[in-house]
A and B are shown apart, each in its own frame.
Chain A
C-alpha cells in the first residue's frame, strides 16, 4: 500500500513539475560574419637581396602600404558590421 502511494506521489510530483517547464520557442541567432571580414591580414613583403635600389624600396613600400590599407578597410568594415548587427539584434525585444 505504501509502495503504491509512493509511486503515485512520484507520478504526481513529476506531473506537477511538468507545469514548471518553460519553453522559449523563439530564438534569434547572432548572424555569421562574412568570410571576407574575418580573413587574416596579409603578411608584409620584406626586401630581397637583389632589391637594392631606391625604386625597389619604393615599390616594396607601395605594396606593403596597399596591404595595410586593405587590412584597415576590412577592420573598419568589421567594426561597422558588428555595430550594425548588434543594433539589429538588440532591437528584437
Chain B
C-alpha cells in the first residue's frame, strides 16, 4: 500500500471510482435489469459486475484508510514544522543570552582589574613578595595538579 503514496490523490480517487461504479452498473445490468439486447452478455456482466464491485469496494476502503494516514501525516508534519520553528527560536534566544552574559562577565573582570591596579600600592604595602613555594602551590591549585608538558 505504501506505493500508493506516490500516486496523486485525485488520480487514485478517479481510478477507484471508475472500478467501483463500473461494478455497480454491471451488477445492476446483470442481475436486476433484463434487456433483450444484453441477454447474451448477462453472465459476463454478472461476473464482471460482482468482481468489479467487490474489488472496487475493497480498494475504496483501502483508499479511505490511505487518506486517513495521509491526513495524519499532514497533521504530524505541521506539528514538526511548528516544533522546529520553536526550537530555532529557543536556540537564538539562548545564544543571545549567553553572549550577553559572557560580555557582562568580561566587563566585570575588567572593572575589578582596574580597581586592583588603582589600589596596587595599598595592596602591596604590608605584604611583600610571593615566595616560590607559595607560587608553586597556587599554580598547583590553578592547574588542578596537572603540570605543563
Query: Of the candidates A46, A49, A53, A81, which one forms a contact with B124 in the assembled complex, judged by CB atoms under 8 Å apart?
Result: A53
Dominant SS among interface residues on chain B: helix
Closest chain-A Cβ to B132's Cβ sits at a distance in Å of: 8
Interface size class of B (residues with CB under 8 A): 35 or more
Looking across the interface, which residue of chain B has its beta carbon closest to that of A58?
B116
Which 9 A-B pairs have CB atoms at the shortest separation, nearest pair first? A66-B109, A46-B139, A77-B98, A26-B76, A34-B95, A55-B123, A28-B80, A31-B87, A55-B120
Interface size class of A (residues with CB under 8 A): 35 or more
Looking across the interface, which residue of chain B has its beta carbon closest to that of A68?
B105
Tell me whether B32 is interfacial, beta carbon within 8 Å: no
Q: A residues within 8 Å of B by Cβ? A: 18-19, 21-23, 25-28, 31, 34, 36-37, 44-47, 49, 51-60, 62-66, 69-70, 73-74, 77, 80-81, 84-85, 88-89, 91-92
